[in-house]
Amino acid sequence: MFDENPTRMVPLSEETIANDKQQNSSTPLASLELLKSYGSNKGFKKLCDEEKIMQPIDHSAAGNEVLGRKLSTDDVMRIAGTRFIQSSPSSPKSLGSSALKSIFSHPFGQFFSGLSDEEKEEVQLAESLLACAEKVGFKQFGRAGKLLSQCESSSSKTGSPVKRVVHYFAEALRLRIDLETGRISSKDLKKMQPMDPREITKNLTPSVLAFYEAAPFCQITMFTLVQSIIENVTEAKKIHVIDFEIRKGVQWTTLMQSLVSRNRCPLELLKITAVGSGSNSKLIIEDTGKRLKDFAISLKINLCYDYVIVPDMLQLREDLFKIDPEETIVVYSQYALGSKIQQPDQLETIMRVVKTIRPTVLAITEIEASHNSTSFVNRFIEALFYFSALFDCLENCMKHDEPNRLVFESQYLDYGIKNILAAEGAERNARNVRIDVWRAFFSRFGLVEAEISMLSLFQAELVAKRFPCGSSCTFDWDGNSLLLGWKGTPLNSISVWKFL
């Protein structure tokens, strides 16, 4: 488990859980510097379009406008957050007067009067959700319950993106109240959420596939990382790719197409080793291998496909990999490392093995969000803006009445929201962290952040433009890492690493 302090990694223990509970009972939502930062710093940066590498979509012809564009779901939450802070009393446990002054001077605080009736209703609904979360943070469950009833009656999983966000967050707050008051137990929670959807998505369901096809994020991260890999293996005749989350392996068909067209330094061998754990991994990995072999034959590429499957990653060893000294080794991880944050011993094992193998480059993409704070309040705010951007994306990229959208939101996003907000300790496995935390963690193993080239950035922008909703994708730099976002809210980090 990663601490909020990015320089160390804290093993999950009863002491950690006890600290969790202690912080949750003492931190009020009204004192959120984090909420202030979303209302001012991030909100202001989001409105300064010239700072973005790729411009947000222009909605000037549709609906009410704020500084020339329609309110996004995140905008509604930012306005609600600003108004919520303004209405909070100044006390030792709330924002000080200087902080309030900076909020009052922010443009978001002046927007409300110019909104449509529908947008005002949504802002007020979001304010009620924030007030409810504050009461939950204070453990004032009776008062929270009344606010929650208001949120539940005014929201819907089939309504606007704002109303859908409030619906699922209200359900998560209700679940947290039930857990804290003893109405249900952690065992009941496990029965309600029997399987982590991240495990299910390894074998693509129709709703997940529909999301991947409609939303640009997966393809942008994949093509950008593959381009970075190609740039680091230009002189290699034998390439060995180790993939920690291969899924359908589409990324390697892209790599093969690029390698086969390479005139300089013809490829002699491409080896792909898929790494997996658990009982379900083998069938998925073998099926992917068959399709990749067929594709390689069609391109006349000499492909060697292998896999390493262990009961859990604690049993991963470097001698399980068939390494040839003449190979140029690449490690690829798409969300695989982040899924192990709640199991730090397994994550440490993976990194020690990778360090022993010493690949030429590591290509990594992870969720760019801070969902691992010990503070319930901080997790709530971070999750609210992250999922607001996702729901806004789904509304823009998929039809409103698309059944797969409803399934994706009600199964996968609902699970993430409830797990982040309601679960604690070992049951809380959605523990995403930002790139600065990964940067500090990787440095312990002698890894340094390599530059992502402008050609890779161009590839990312090119892929985004292929999607009807792609103009709403935004790109920012954090160090040498590329942050992929939706209308200014970061959702994914794309990074490349090398050993010193």
Same domain? 379 vs 364: no
Same domain? 237 vs 153: no
Q: 496: part of which helix (H) or strand (E)? A: strand 489-499
261: exposed, middle or buried (Cβ count in 10 Å: 0-12, 13-18, 19+): exposed
| Tally of structural domains, the chain | 2
Written as six digits, the tokens of 260 are 């086969």
What pLDDT was estimated at residue 201? 60
Q: Categorize the per-residue pLDDT at 34 as very low, low, confident or very high, splitting at 50, 70 and 90.
A: low
pLDDT digits 0-9 by tens, 98-138 = 333 343 334 555 567 778 889 999 999 999 999 999 999 99
Report the share of the chain in percent with pLDDT over 70: 79
Same domain? 36 vs 155: yes
Q: Categorize the per-residue pLDDT at 89 as very low, low, confident or very high, splitting at 50, 70 and 90.
A: low
Tell me whether residue 46 is in a domain. Answer: yes
Tell me whether residue 399 is in a domain. Answer: yes
What pLDDT was estimated at residue 262? 86
C-alpha separations of 426 from 1, 71, 190, 340, 420 in Å:
10, 38, 11, 12, 12
Last-in-domain residue among 407, 427, 447: 427
Q: What is the DSSP letter of 12?
A: P
Same domain? 169 vs 309: no
Tell me whether residue 5 is in a domain. Answer: no
Same domain? 416 vs 450: no
Above 90 in pLDDT, residue 67? no
427: helix, coil or strand?
A: helix
Same domain? 246 vs 99: no
Q: 477: part of which helix (H) or strand (E)? A: strand 473-478
Residues 238/272, Cβ–Cβ less than 8 Å: no
**Of 96-105, 224-233, 290-299, where does mean pLDDT reach its minimum?**
96-105
Above 50 in pLDDT, residue 19? no
Same domain? 267 vs 359: yes
Q: Categorize the per-residue pLDDT at 369 as very low, low, confident or very high, splitting at 50, 70 and 90.
A: very high
Above 70 in pLDDT, residue 91? no
What pLDDT was estimated at residue 313? 96
C-alpha separations of 290 from 199, 257, 287 in Å:
21, 17, 5
What pLDDT was estimated at residue 6? 38
Above 60 in pLDDT, residue 143? yes
Q: Categorize the per-residue pLDDT at 197 as very low, low, confident or very high, splitting at 50, 70 and 90.
A: low
In whole angstroms, give the CA distance from residue 413 to residue 28: 26
CA torsion sign for 5, 365, 415, 347 is negative
Last-in-domain residue among 427, 444, 461: 427
What pLDDT was estimated at residue 111? 66
CA torsion sign for 254, 258, 261, 265 is negative
Phi, psi dihedrals of residue 486, rounded to the nearest 5°: -120, 110
Tell me whether residue 276 is in a domain. Answer: yes
Same domain? 186 vs 240: no
What pLDDT was estimated at residue 36? 60
What pLDDT was estimated at residue 460? 96
Average pLDDT of the segment spanning 74-102:
65
Q: CA 410: distance to chain centroid?
A: 17
Domain that holds residue 172: 14-196+374-427
Q: Categorize the per-residue pLDDT at 2 as very low, low, confident or very high, splitting at 50, 70 and 90.
A: very low
In whole angstroms, give the CA distance from residue 142 to residue 325: 65
Above 60 in pLDDT, residue 159? yes
Q: What Rg, from alpha-carbon coordinates, does the chain have?
A: 23
Tell me whether residue 184 is in a domain. Answer: yes
Q: Which amino acid is at 188?
A: D
Q: What is the CATH number of the domain that holds 473?
A: 3.40.50.150
What pLDDT was estimated at residue 8? 41
pLDDT digits 0-9 by tens, 305-331 = 999 999 999 999 999 999 999 999 999
Report the share of the chain in percent with pLDDT over 90: 68
Q: Categorize the per-residue pLDDT at 193 as very low, low, confident or very high, splitting at 50, 70 and 90.
A: low
Tell me whether residue 151 is in a domain. Answer: yes
62: helix, coil or strand?
A: coil
Tell me whether residue 398 is in a domain. Answer: yes
What pLDDT was estimated at residue 120? 93
463: exposed, middle or buried (Cβ count in 10 Å: 0-12, 13-18, 19+): buried
Residue among 389, 443, 390 nearest 413 (CA): 390
What pLDDT was estimated at residue 226? 97
Residues 382/349, Cβ–Cβ less than 8 Å: no
Q: CA 263: distance to chain centroid?
A: 37
What pLDDT was estimated at residue 85? 86
Same domain? 140 vs 165: yes
Average pLDDT of the segment spanning 274-302:
93
Above 50 in pLDDT, residue 11? no
Same domain? 181 vs 125: yes
In whole angstroms, give the CA distance from residue 44 to residue 42: 5
Average pLDDT of the segment spanning 137-148:
95
What pLDDT was estimated at residue 141? 95
Tell me whether residue 4 is in a domain. Answer: no
Last-in-domain residue among 392, 412, 427: 427
Same domain? 131 vs 170: yes
Same domain? 390 vs 455: no
CA torsion sign for 123, 129, 135, 140 is positive
Q: Categorize the per-residue pLDDT at 450 as very low, low, confident or very high, splitting at 50, 70 and 90.
A: very high
